[in-house]
Amino acid sequence: MLEKLLTVFRIPELRRKILLTLGLLAVYRMGFAIPLPFIDQDVLVQRMKQMQQGGTGGVGQVMQVVALFSASDIGNATIFGLGIMPYISASIIFQLLGSVYPPLERLQKEGEAGRRKINEYTRYATVFICLLQSFFWIRGLSGGFGTGGGIIMETYDEFFYHMVGAVTMTVGTIFLMWIGEQIDAFGIGNGISLLIMAGILARMPQAGLQMVGPAFTEGVKPGTETGIERLLLLAAIFVFVVVWVIAITKGERRIPIQSAKHVRGRRVMGGQRQHLPLRVNQAGVMPIIFASSLLMIPMILFQQISSAWPTSNFLKTAANVFTPGRGFVYNLSYIALIYFFCYFWTAITFNPKDMANNLKDYGSFIPGYRPGARTASYLESVMVRITYVGAAFLALVAVIPTIISTSMDVPYLVASFYGGTGLLIVVSVSLDLVQKIDSHLTMRNYTGLLDTEK
């Protein structure tokens, strides 16, 4: 394996792509150390501690979840505070509209020209979403979340700061979007996905220090939280979960396909037997993102109402029920929403009718099923069955952090690396990156990173 890694850096073109990608990711991380102007950093740190402790109506939990899958650091007022969250939101909106709005659906079928036009619309929508989100977020930091004001230096006008801060954060997000596009064009891997993965992995040192830090300060004591057997068990569980997620992510149902024979003079063409791969986890990470985002609404709503009527025990109980990781009702609602969004997202991204028509146009068919409607019906029934398995996988991955956190008394920041959105994103992006590096090696007659020597 070490020899294969050295081979990667011996190829000049591939080495330039990797170094450029690493350099742009370093620029992305440095931006989180540049604060917005006119901010009193001492007051801001105090406000963030209050919000993360849940004293501001659940805003702390919202920030953690949003920051995890958007490559952002929304808890800090920096130039990259929004990350690429607005671009992700705009992309999802246009992907959903593409299945219900005919003009966008026609653009999607126009190939490269249509894709460029949709990307242009997505960028415009990103700027609009950025301005709205950054303005309301900065206004919330100034006292809108119930934490009091005071983060803006007294020598500056508050409305002027709101506008300057919103424009600065918008420009920061646009710059991150440009970095992602440069990685796509001149680097290696998917730029936006790599930014998200970098944001998730940047939290790993803090989580590792939080887990093993007490062992250095208090010493290794068997039978306690710093016991070596507990640390080894957590390490073994982490390895098992990662291997399991990789196996399911790569898992697919292969549908046999037979191509029709064609006679060209004295030669017989076609007649080959291939397969059509259908992924078990067709929906990817989107169902978890949608489900967790939707469950934030009742939590924030009940907490805000209960703050207005502090004597109501029902509102306090309802707020606790819908707090992430607390109670049977939340976990059951979480799993039900994951199943719903799995089928919903699969129905949008997987079109059995178009796939059956494509097979028919290329002269291929599934043995035992007539081309056209019968093939489409068969593909739909297969996808319904494997989506059920994929939804069960996503539901289990989503609740693993809660199980680890509650049963083993592990901080949630540490437990979040054992499952959930972050682990799925890191695994899928890493597999895609390795696959693209392998393609470069194969073009130059080298052995891939995961291929066995022949």
Residue-level pLDDT, tens digit, the chain, 454 residues: 677 777 788 888 888 999 999 999 999 988 888 887 777 666 766 666 665 554 444 455 555 555 555 555 555 677 888 888 888 888 888 888 887 888 888 888 787 888 888 888 999 999 999 888 888 877 766 654 444 455 666 555 667 777 888 888 899 999 999 999 999 889 888 888 898 888 888 888 877 787 777 766 766 666 666 667 777 888 888 889 889 888 888 888 888 888 776 666 666 666 677 888 888 888 888 888 888 778 777 777 777 676 667 666 776 777 777 766 666 778 888 899 999 999 988 888 888 888 888 888 877 888 888 888 899 999 999 999 999 999 999 999 888 888 887 787 777 777 878 777 788 888 888 888 888 888 888 887 777 676 655 4
Which tokens sit at 14?
């591939």
* Model confidence pTM above 0.85: no
Percent composition of the chain: helix, strand, coil (DSSP 3-state, to 5): 70, 5, 25
CA distance 443 to 83: 35
Specify the pLDDT at position 102.
85
Helix (H) or strand (E) holding 278: strand 273-279
In the chain, domain spans? 1-202+448-454, 251-418
Q: What is the torsional sign of CA 133, 138, 140, 144?
A: negative
- Tell me whether domains 1-202+448-454 and 251-418 share a fold: yes
CA distance 140 to 64: 16
3-state secondary structure of 347: helix
Which tokens sit at 325?
């990781």
Under DSSP, the state recorded for 11 is S
3-state secondary structure of 279: strand
Nearest to 405 by CA among 206, 202, 207: 207
**Are residues 288 and 421 in contact, defined by beta-carbon separation less than 8 angstroms?**
yes
Q: Which CATH number does the domain 251-418 belong to among 3.30.70.1290, 1.10.10.60, 1.10.3370.10, 1.10.357.10?
A: 1.10.3370.10
CATH placement of domain 1-202+448-454? 1.10.3370.10
Which tokens sit at 60?
């702390």
CA distance 434 to 188: 10
